[in-house]
Structure formats: structure tokens, C-alpha cells
Structure 1
Amino acid sequence: MSENPDKAQVTVRNMVLADIPGVIELQKAAFPYMAAEGVIWKPEHLESHISVFPEGQFCAEYQDTIIGSCSSLIIIMTPEYKDHTWKEACGDSFFKNHDPKGDTLYAADVSTHPDYRRLGVASRLYEARKSLAVEKNLRRIIGGGRLFNYCEHAKTITPYDYVMRVKKGEIQEPVLMFQLSNGFDFIKILPNYLKDARSLNNATFIEWKNPQYRRDS
């Protein structure tokens, strides 16, 4: 990596099969805690994502290195704010739940390489998802967000109270603060969402509503 990487050299595009080894290495660097527990993509998962919904899989590249990625699928969720696990929403890790006739883009994951911070990679990936939702006339984007620093407060406050204190600026929480700054709203806590030692398996149900959604189209 160069000492002063240039944002202009970051390219966001749809993921292709040749990107899979780079995405796997990215996941290991971005999620060391989850990688240790085996909770990261495997090649066969990414192959399935590209097969079932190629438009929903994005990667960010810098000087021939994959430094960011995100995976998405279209679903129908009824009721629209129901409790769910990551596995239930995504149809396991193979996106078996993908439904082209759905109205909701589900954000299965987003990862950025820790060595390439301040390049706006995550924001670029979020914008790619938003553009896709507008293009497909989807009503919203939803997902389950990590509570990365909750493990440091779990003995004294509940996940919900933790989120409330983050929103007030009393606790620094990088994931949720970033999501809120990108136009997502916190809906509620999803318990037992995904095996994650730092979040104690909790997640935030987050939602972005497409302002250009056309109900009758």
C-alpha cells in the first residue's frame, strides 16, 4: 500500500468470480473476530451470490487489490419489521431467499480493509446499494448492524440502552454511527442475530427508505 492512497483510484463495481479469492482475504482482515469463529464467506457462498443476483454484489478495488465488498439480496419481509436472524433473512449463506419480485434490498454484509481507512470505501459501497435500490424501484434497504463495542458495556446496560446512548453521543460506536450518518434509521434490537463475540450476538435492525420509490410502477 502506498503511504498516501488516492480516493480517486478506488473503483466500485459489481463483483465477478475472479474477485472471490480477494474478497475472502478481505473478510479475514476486516473481521478477525468473526473469522476466528468461521463466520465469514466461503468461496461457494460468493459463487452463489453472483449466480442468483449479480447486480447486488459489489466490490471496491484499489491498485488491483480488493479493499471493500458488500453482498445483497432482494426479499419480502412480512411483517415488515419482524424479528429475524441473519440466516433467516439471507436463506443461509447461499441467498436462497432471493426474490426478484420483493420490495426490500437486504444488506447481508459490508466489509472494508482496515489498512485503507479514510478512502470513503464503505460510503461508496452504501451509495452503490442505494443506487441499485432506486434502479430496481425497491421500497427500502434493511439489514442487521453490528454493535462493535457493546461487549465493553454489556455488564451494565442492555443492547437497546447502548444504542440510545450511542445516538446521544455518549458512547462511540463506529458501525452504528456510520450507518446513522448514511441515512439509516434504527428500528429495534435483533437478539441472537448472528454469532458475533463483540456484539454478543445482538444486532440493530436498520432501515433506509428509498425516497424515489414509486408504489404503482
Structure 2
Amino acid sequence: MYRKELFVFQEGRPIRAIVRNYKKEDFKDLIAIQQECFPPPFPSELWWSEEQLTNHVKLYPEGALCVEINGELVGSITGLLVPFDPENPIHTWEEVTDHGYIRNHDPKEKTLYIVDISVKPAFRKLDLGKLLMQAVYERVVHDDLDRVLGGGRMPGYHHYATQMTPQQYVENVLVGNLKDPVISFLLRCGRTPVCVVPDYLEDEESHNNALLMEWKNPFK
């Protein structure tokens, strides 16, 4: 299992943080984090349920991580192991994550797929999302996996949907002409683009698009 204690900084002041596996006692807080991170128009039915969270800690506890600040649960990341064919990368979030229930988790596979990452808005300046992503990278190296993979929402795209295609929007983000709250964050975390995936997830802001992004194990 995983537990890391370290310091993050808020306006130059060090604050102790703990990244660890989440468990049943955390479910209520995890659901509250989702509700705060994904308010309407994001579909409320996509927030975690206790049944989904139970599967996460039962089927792949190594991929179920959270972060605490001063004893308060403020963020989480969840993954599962799946097959991946780079020649046929297109899929939907529902297909690859089993609608978030991860019953398709296969411990023999080598791609760690990110189901979700959430950090409470009030704590996002502490770079906690990067800490959670780093923990997943460490799991990939520790378990000799091939990659981290996941679809990044494009919530800034709805501002430009009448002016450019999703691919053109991504290209503008990649050259620095535009910034996207999710895609730019994932780039800072070390993830690299694979392809744009249409109809990835019901998401009004992204016009249902996502950018599939990966992080490859540098030791393979």
C-alpha cells in the first residue's frame, strides 16, 4: 500500500500533506469532493457512488489514492489496469472504466488508466493534483507497468467551439496560444497527447470531447 508525507507551500508557508490509499471510512468525503469539483452543468449522476468506491478499494486498492491537508480530505485519484492498443486508441470513458465501477480491472494488464482526479477548488494552488499524479507514476514504475493513460476534459473548448475544431483547439493549447484548465494542468504533470477522442464523456463544456494523454514508464 502507499503512504507519503511531505510539505506543500501556500504563499510561501509550508503545509504538511499526506497522500495515501483511500478506504471505506473516506467515502462520504470523497463524494463531497466530487460534488464540489464538478458542479452543474456536469451531470450529477457521474459523481461517485458508494458502490463504485467500494469496487475501487476492493478490486484495485493500489489505484485508489487521496490527499489530506491538516486531516481534511481534499482530493483523490482513481485508476484501474486495462489493455491498450495504440493502433486503436478511440474509446469512451464508460467503456474503459465500466461506468466508473472498474469491474473490468485486469491485474495482468500494463496500462494504468486514470478514472478520475479531483481536488477541491480552494486547495488547487497547492499543486495537490501533481502530487496525486506523481503517486500514480510511482505505482507504474514500482509495478513495472507500461504507462499511465487517461482522457483529459477540455472545459475551455466551449468558448471556441464556433471558431475551431477540437483538434485545432488542442493544437492552440499545445503551442501556448490558449490555456485549458485540464489539458494545461496535465501537460504540467508530464502527460503527453495521444489523440482527441470525440463522444468520450457527457460534458457540455468540452462538447463531449477529450484529449487522450499518456505518461510512459521511462525505465521501459
Q: TM-score, normalised by structure 2?
A: 0.91
1:157 aligns with 2:164: yes
Q: Closer, same or farther in 2 for the Cα pair 1:206/1:79, shift >3 Å? A: closer
**Any gaps of 5 or more consecutive residues in structure 1?**
none
1:115-126 correspondence runs (5 A): 115-126=122-133
1:82 aligns with 2:89: yes
In 1, are the aligned partners of 2:100 and 2:115 still within 8 Å (CA)? no
In 2, are the aligned partners of 1:34 and 1:40 still within 8 Å (CA)? no
User: CA–CA distance in 2 between the matches of 1:145 and 1:108?
Assistant: 10
Aligned to 1:57: 64
80, 85, 88: which is aligned to 1:73? 80
In 1, are the aligned partners of 2:20 and 2:67 still within 8 Å (CA)? yes
SS of residue in 1 equivalent to 2:15: helix
Across the aligned residues of Structure 1 and Structure 2, the Cα RMSD in angstroms comes to: 1.7
1:8-87 correspondence runs (5 A): 8-33=15-40, 35-79=42-86, 81-87=88-94
In 1, are the aligned partners of 2:77 and 2:132 still within 8 Å (CA)? yes
Aligned to 2:3: none
SS of residue in 1 equivalent to 2:162: coil
Q: CA deviation at 1:98?
A: 0.5
Q: CA deviation at 1:80?
A: 5.3
Aligned to 2:112: 105
User: CA–CA distance in 1 between the matches of 2:43 and 2:95?
Assistant: 23
Aligned to 2:143: 136
Q: Percent identity?
A: 35
SS of residue in 1 equivalent to 2:176: coil
Q: CA deviation at 1:155?
A: 1.1
Q: TM-score, normalised by structure 1?
A: 0.92
1:167 aligns with 2:183: no
Please tell me the residue identity of whatever aligns with 2:18: T
Higher strand share: 2
SS of residue in 1 equivalent to 2:95: helix
**Any gaps of 5 or more consecutive residues in structure 2?**
1-9
